[in-house]
Structures are given as C-alpha cells and as structure tokens.
Amino acid sequence: MVRGLIAKITGRSNHRQRVFVEVRPDGIAWATADGDTGFIGCSPARREQELGVAVDEKGWAGARVTLVLPLDQYQVFQLERPEGIEESELGDALKWKLKEFLDFSPSEAVSDVFPFPQDATRGRGDLVNLVAARKSLVRELVELVDACGLDLVSITIAELALSHLVARLDESQRGAALVHMRGRYGQMVVGKGSTLYLSRRLDVSVDDLHDASQQENAVQSLALEMQRSLDYYESQLGQVPPTKIRFVTRDTSLPLSSMLGAYLASSVEALDWADLGVDDPIDNRCLAAWSARLAATVPLADRYQQINLYTEALRPKKERLQAVTAVAIVGLALLGLAVAAGFVRYEHTRMNDQLASQQNQIERLEQSVAELTQEAESRQPDPQLEAALTRVNDTLARRQKLLAQVEGLISADTTGFADPLAALARQVPAGLWLTRIRLNAQNGNVGLDGRAQAGKLVPSYLEALGEEPAFQGKTFGAFRLERSEQGGGIEFRVATDASAGGEP
C-alpha cells in the first residue's frame, strides 16, 4: 500500500503503458503491450516484494493493468439468460442460481457473464456463460496490484485470454484448438474466429507425462480428455471439429505430438511461433498473459466475448479509501501552501525592514563622511606644533649622530671609552638629552653637555651615573645650569675637572 500511495502522491504515472499479469501459485507471469514477457518465480508470501521490484526496475508505476485469473481460480457455468434483466446486472442475478454448485456462498462471489455462441445452443434457449470467483481471493490480487503502484483496470480469465491466440491460429475461420499444459494440469480451448466455444480442464500433470512408469497411462488419459472435448464440441455444440490441435508445453523435448497422434482423430503439432510473427518462443508460463495482450489490438466493438471481474463488489472500499486519501492529500497540500505563503510574506516583510534599516544607516554614514571631510578641509596647520616637530626631528638627528660616533668608537676597539659610554647610554632618563660628551683617555676626565626639561633631572642623572662601575670614584667638580634661550628647557654642562671650566 505504501508504494501505491507514494506513486499517487508523487504523480509517478504511466497510463499509456499496459501490463498484463497472471498471478500463479509458483510466481507471477507478465506481458506488456509491445510483446515483452517475463516470469517472476516466487512464493505467495513474496509476491508483493518481487512485483514491487519489477515495477520500480521497469518503470511501470501507474501503468494500466489487466489481471488474468488462472483456470483453478474461477468456475464457468452455462445458464439460460432470464428476461427483463439489464446486462450489467446479469452476473449478480445469476450467481444465486449456483448455490448448490459453489463451495462458498454466492454472496461471497464476484461474477460476470459473456455470451454463449448462438449457433451452439442447439435449442436450449438464450444461454450465457457465467463466471464466478471467490471474492476474497480476487480482492487479494486487487490489493497486490494496488500496493505495487499499478492501476488495475480489468480482470479477465485464462480461457478468454487464450481465445485471442486461438483466433490468430484460425485463419480459415473454420475452428482451431489449443492445448496448454500448465504443470499440474492442462487446458484445452476450442474456438472459431474470435468466438470461444469450449474450454476444458485436462487433469493430467506434466510430471506424469515424464514419469516412465506412468507415462503411457498419462498419455492415454490426456488423449481421452482431448477427444472427449472434440466429441462434445461436435455433438453438443453442433460444430465441425478442427483438423489440427496446437500443443504448448514448457518442455519441448517430450514428443507429445507423435505420442498423442495415435489416439486422436485430429493431428497434433507443437505451436509454431513463427506463424504468429514471433522470433523467439514465449515462455509457456507467460502464455495466458501474452495472449491477453492480443485483445488490446482488437477494437472494442469487435470483442464479442469479454468480462471484467473488477466489479463494484471490489471497488467501493478502495474508492472510499482513495477519496479519503485524496481529500487528505489535498488538505495537506493546501495547508502546506498556506504555511509556505505565510512564510514568504514574513520573509518579505523582514527583508524590507532590513533593507530600510540598512538604507538609513548608509545615509547616516554618508552624512558623517561629508561632515568629517568638511571639517578636515577647514583645519589649518598649527605653527607651534610644526615648530615642536622640527625640534624633535633635530634632537633625533643629534642622537643618531651621537650613536654613530659611539658605534665608531666601539668598532675602533677603544676599550677605554666602551664602559663609560655604555654607562651613559644606560642611565639617560626620560626628559634629558646629551648634546655633547667629552672623554679624556689620559686622565679619565669626563665632560657632559645636554638639555633637560626640568633642573631636578640633572642631579638625579648624575647620581645614577655615580652608581655605574665606570664612574665610581669620579666627582663632577664643574656644574653649570642655564635657561635655554629658545625656552622650554634647561641647558647644563658638567665636568669632573673643575679647573678646566667644564672641559675634560
């Protein structure tokens, strides 16, 4: 059921494809409208799984299906047609006359009728063929087809399917006969033109025909059943027996034609598929399904005998289920559309709000940029800042020059100056600059010129230098502080030799 529902919901349909299916005890035989056939060997418990796999692999989802019932799944009775009953009601009306012949209640039967040949009644009135099958059995097949995602359109029976093959064999329109051995039994079908006259079950199995101990008796029994059928066709139906009987069996190695010919008035020969325009012989198990497809080539108006056991007795429950399912699907679809539409409207509103917010933010940013640009353009350079920058640059230049001199002294390997210079470099505090350094390697005198932002920085600096090993024991005897003429600092000069006026 799940696969069938999914096929309907997703719209996977292939209504132009026609498939003909016969569900047998040993598996499932199938044929398509273009003549392809196949047999799926499986137990009854695996039918749904195996048929579902075939549907998926061959793309049959939604294909229109005709079911063919095997001979052992239905019964056919000849009954006189009552007057005053509509054609569509004949099956249900006549099945109650079979109460004594059926092994189940007529209420549990699904039935339909097809015409009995007028030239075969022999004064017995207007007769019809009534087909009756157990409803529960047919319903299982209907559910199997539906569960696999196929679209069941009709249910026919094996003898009407085979009658289309007999019609192809009867080129002279004088009558033809076909015997189809199905394994546990055989089926003989005799017809003239497109009309089925006789169908008979032959209770002889293929195994008996192969068993050496039973073969002779089996052949005689089979020939006797076939001859009795021909005799009935002649005596009771008033028809001339066909001169040739075509034989179809799965095992072509058994010479049944010659074995049966000695017991029958008509000749027996194996079916020649080339006469039907078929290159490769059809699998004997698929014969009924393949023959059913031949009906599709006959116009509906020319089909004298046809039935459809897929009647209202099987449809109501399925139709109600389909209606409920359809309403549920439509409801879910409408709900989904409503939710989707609401979500789209919400997203549309949210995106519009975001767009408006971003546009406002862009406008504010553009306004800020314009204001900042105007403010930057209106500003002029500050002369004091430029002068301060010039002084800083000069100081940096002097320090770089001093550093270059120190590096020169170090590279010249003058070890007498290395320690004092290293001490001077380590102890220069923030806010104090040395503008001149004088070192006398002979007497060890030191002279320093510099500038400081505050006068108190100079004594602190000299005290820190006294703690350096290179200056321990040295005393700055000359000390001079002057206010810078340029303003903004103190100029100082110190030296260890006081008599030299600050010169080392």
DSSP 305-342: S------TTTHHHHHHHHHHHHHHHHHHHHHHHHHHHH
* Helix/strand/coil for 154: strand
- Per-residue confidence (pLDDT) for residue 11, from 0 to 100: 45
| Alpha carbon of residue 314 to chain centroid | 33
- Tens digit of pLDDT for each residue in 341-363? 888 888 888 888 888 888 888 88
Same domain for 128 and 275: yes
Find the DSSP H helices in 120-237: 135-147, 158-169, 206-210, 215-235
306: Cβ contacts below 8 Å, ≥ 6 apart = 114, 156, 160, 295
Same domain for 170 and 277: yes
- The residue among 287, 313, 339 that closes a domain is 313
Which residue is associated with the tokens 């569900």? 23
pLDDT range class, residue 9, cuts 50, 70, 90:
very low
Among 186-200, 210-224, 335-349, the minimum mean pLDDT is found in 335-349
Which residue is associated with the tokens 């064999």? 169
How many domains in the chain?
A: 2
SS (H, E, C) 42-61: CCHHHHHHHHHHHHHHHCCC
Instruction: Give the residue-averaged pLDDT of 263-270.
Output: 89
β-bridge partners, 176: 191
- Per-residue confidence (pLDDT) for residue 10, from 0 to 100: 47
- Tens digit of pLDDT for each residue in 490-501? 888 888 876 645
Residue 64 within any structural domain of the chain: yes
Sign of the CA dihedral running 329, 335, 341, 347: negative
Instruction: Give the residue-averaged pLDDT of 416-423.
Output: 79
What is the DSSP secondary-structure string of 438-490?
Answer: EE-TTT--EEEEEEESSTTHHHHHHHHHHTSGGGTT----EEEEEE-TTSSSE
Instruction: Give the residue-averaged pLDDT of 32-49.
Output: 94
* Helix/strand/coil for 188: strand
- The residue among 313, 331, 362 that closes a domain is 313
- Per-residue confidence (pLDDT) for residue 477, from 0 to 100: 77
- The residue among 292, 313, 334 that closes a domain is 313
CATH assignment at residue 424: 3.30.70
Among 37-51, 187-201, 429-443, 473-487, the minimum mean pLDDT is found in 473-487
Residue 338 within any structural domain of the chain: no
Residue 352 within any structural domain of the chain: no
Residue 366 within any structural domain of the chain: no
* Helix/strand/coil for 262: coil
Residue 269 within any structural domain of the chain: yes
Residue 9 within any structural domain of the chain: yes
Same domain for 420 and 294: no
Instruction: Give the residue-averaged pLDDT of 194-219.
Output: 91
Same domain for 419 and 298: no
- Per-residue confidence (pLDDT) for residue 297, from 0 to 100: 78
Residue 16 within any structural domain of the chain: yes
Query: Does residue 432 come out as left (phi exceeding 0), alpha (psi in the -120 to 50 range) or beta?
Result: beta
- Per-residue confidence (pLDDT) for residue 381, from 0 to 100: 66
Same domain for 243 and 98: yes
Q: Which of 451, 504, 497 is nearest to 475 (CA)?
A: 497
Q: CA torsion, points 278, 153, 28, 286, in degrees to nearest 10?
A: -20
Residue 263 CB coordination number (10 Å):
15
Same domain for 293 and 401: no
For residue 19, give the DSSP letter: E
Same domain for 39 and 166: yes
Same domain for 247 and 151: yes
User: Whole domain around residue 487: which residue ranges?
Assistant: 396-500
- CB neighbour class for 80 (10 Å; exposed up to 12, middle 13-18, buried from 19): middle
Same domain for 294 and 172: yes
Residue 387 within any structural domain of the chain: no
Q: How far, in Å, CA of 152 to CA of 15, rounded? A: 11
Same domain for 292 and 419: no
pLDDT range class, residue 413, cuts 50, 70, 90:
very low
CATH assignment at residue 125: 3.30.420.380
Q: How far, in Å, CA of 144 to CA of 41, rounded? A: 16
